[in-house]
């Protein structure tokens, strides 16, 4: 009797960074972004071949920064679009790139799965202090001089990044995915769903207007965790540009941590071992997932996605 694929019947949510599609240092024209998109989807094709039911959440950090800048350049000729609408716009065209590239890759691999993109609203608390205090870095890395100039000319708030300066925008914590039932039905039918693109478009429920948008950018790893919880997923896979979670990252004594309990991961966070703007939010999302009933969360390098899910690469975080 043939053995069932390892992921058959189980749901996984995969979080893919916007930097994977537009790496730092590149001009980032659409041809380059398509090329990076095609390369980044190899682990998702492999997971589909193993029978996993899949939702893909992607970031938009570099892209939303470009859209805001393009918005400002066109301000004298066209009405500017607010940040929340631009998040939805990036979710549309990045979703299109992923959807087309993934469908082609699945067909080449002989994996019969449909792919759709769902423009997703993510509920946030309008009273969350983070909606009023820009803290999330987006866009391209700038020199200090360029950052100061844009802050003066465009009114941007900017802050230091790992290798320069970046624009900062509000980033409230996500609470729930509005379209979760529609996404669940699609996934249960075998469709791979690209959802909560750019972290999803932030919204809140107004007693009169019903759903109303918020001008902010939700962290895509936190949005992926909320979606994984809403879908009752077996696993959360966060793909990044490093091997996994390290103790002492960036030092000569850096140690890759292959397995962590939630308590151990929390200790690392409390000790300041993980950067607030890099690995920290990924580990926090993983913690929320496993403590909310998820079985396991994986953090791994982009090209090690399937190996991580099999326990052969990256870091796996489980409940205490």
Which residues, listed in sequence order, are joined to residue 117 by a DSSP beta bridge? Answer: 194
How does pLDDT run across 51-88, given as a tens digit for each residue?
999 999 999 988 998 998 899 889 889 999 999 999 99
DSSP reduced 3-state for 318:
strand
For residue 71, how many other CB atoms are within 10 A of its CB? 18
The pair of structure tokens assigned to 53 is 């039911």
**Which of 116-125, 129-138, 229-238 shows the lowest mean pLDDT across its residues?**
129-138
Q: What is the per-residue pLDDT for 42?
A: 93
DSSP state of 60: -
Number of helices (H) and strands (E) in the chain: give both, helices first: 10, 17
DSSP code of 77? T
Instruction: Tell which phi-psi region holds residue 125, choosing left (phi > 0), alpha (psi between -120 and 50) or beta.
Output: beta
Alpha-carbon torsion 310, 200, 42, 27, what sign?
negative
Q: Which of 158, 162, 35, 47 is nearest to 101 (CA)?
A: 35
**pLDDT value for 9:** 84
| pLDDT computed for residue 2 by the predictor | 43
Query: Looking at residue 198, what is its pLDDT?
Result: 95
**pLDDT for residue 294:** 95
Domain boundary assignment for the chain: 11-123+173-312, 134-169
Name every residue whose Cβ is closer than 8 Å to that of residue 306 and which is 6 or more positions away in sequence. 43, 46, 47, 50
Q: What is the pLDDT of residue 279?
A: 87
Under a CB-based contact definition with an 8 Å cutoff, are residues 297 and 317 in contact?
Answer: yes
**pLDDT for res 6:** 64
Higher-pLDDT residue of 276, 268: 268
Taking 80 as the threshold, does the pLDDT of residue 288 lie above it? yes
Catalytic residue numbers, as ranges: 18-19, 136, 220, 282
Please name the residue ranges forming H helices in 175-304: 180-188, 220-230, 262-270, 279-291
Which is more confident, 272 or 182? Answer: 182
pLDDT in tens, 123-175: 999 999 999 889 888 888 888 998 999 888 888 899 987 778 998 999 999 99
Confidence at 26, pLDDT banded by 50, 70, 90: confident
Structure confidence at residue 154 (pLDDT): 84
Residue 150: its pLDDT value, please?
Answer: 86
Could you tell me whether strands 315-318 and 259-261 are parallel, antiparallel, or unpaired per DSSP bridges?
parallel
Which CATH fold topology does 11-123+173-312 show? Answer: Carbamate kinase (3.40.1160)
Q: What's CA 194's distance to the chain center, in Å?
A: 11
310: its two tokens = 């099999």
3-state secondary structure of 260: strand
- Token pair 């409940």: residue: 319
What is the token pair recorded at 207?
């007693």
Residue 277 is encoded by which pair of tokens? Answer: 């703007």
Whether 284 contacts 268, CB under 8 Å: no
pLDDT, position 256: 92
Q: Alpha-carbon distance 255 to 87, whole Å?
A: 36
Q: What average pLDDT is seen over the chain? A: 91
Helix (H) or strand (E) holding 119: none
Say which DSSP state 197 is in: G
Give CA–CA dist 225/291, Å, rounded. Answer: 11
Which positions ≥6 away from 104 have C-beta within 8 Å?
38
Across 113-132, average pLDDT: 96
Give me the pLDDT at residue 142, please: 86
Task: Pick the more confident residue, 204 or 68.
Answer: 204
Band of pLDDT at residue 1, cut at 50, 70 and 90: very low
- Has this prediction a pTM greater than 0.75? yes
pLDDT score for 52: 97
The DSSP element (H or E) to which 235 belongs, if any, is strand 235-240
């Amino acid at each position: 009797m043939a053995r069932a694929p390892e992921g058959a019947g189980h749901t996984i949510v995969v979080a893919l960074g916007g930097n994977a599609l537009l790496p730092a240092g590149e001009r980032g024209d659409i041809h380059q972004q398509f090329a990076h998109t095609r390369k980044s989807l190899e682990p998702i094709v492999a997971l589909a071949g193993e029978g996993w039911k899949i939702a893909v959440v992607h970031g938009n950090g570099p892209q939303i920064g470009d859209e805001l800048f393009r918005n400002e350049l066109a301000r004298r000729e066209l009405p500017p679009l607010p940040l929340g609408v631009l998040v939805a716009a990036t979710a549309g065209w990045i979703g299109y790139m992923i959807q087309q590239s993934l469908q082609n890759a699945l067909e080449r691999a002989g994996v019969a799965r449909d792919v759709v993109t769902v423009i997703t609203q993510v509920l946030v608390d309008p009273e969350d202090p983070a909606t009023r205090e820009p803290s999330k870095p987006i866009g391209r890395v700038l020199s200090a001089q360029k950052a100061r100039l844009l802050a003066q000319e465009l009114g941007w708030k900017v802050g230091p990044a790992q290798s320069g300066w970046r624009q900062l925008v509000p980033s409230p914590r996500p609470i729930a995915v509005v379209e979760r039932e529609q996404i669940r039905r699609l996934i249960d039918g075998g469709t791979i769903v690209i959802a909560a693109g750019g972290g999803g478009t932030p919204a809140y429920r107004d007693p009169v207007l019903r759903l109303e948008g918020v001008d902010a950018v939700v962290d895509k790893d936190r949005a992926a965790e909320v979606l994984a919880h809403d879908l009752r997923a077996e696993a959360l896979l966060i793909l990044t540009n490093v091997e996994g979670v390290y103790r002492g990252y960036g030092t000569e004594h850096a140690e890759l941590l292959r397995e962590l309990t939630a308590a151990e991961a929390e200790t690392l966070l409390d000790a300041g071992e993980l950067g607030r703007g890099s690995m920290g939010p990924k580990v926090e999302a993983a913690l929320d997932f496993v403590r909310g009933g998820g079985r396991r969360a994986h953090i791994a390098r982009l090209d090690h996605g399937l190996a991580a899910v099999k326990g052969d690469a990256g870091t796996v975080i489980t409940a205490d």
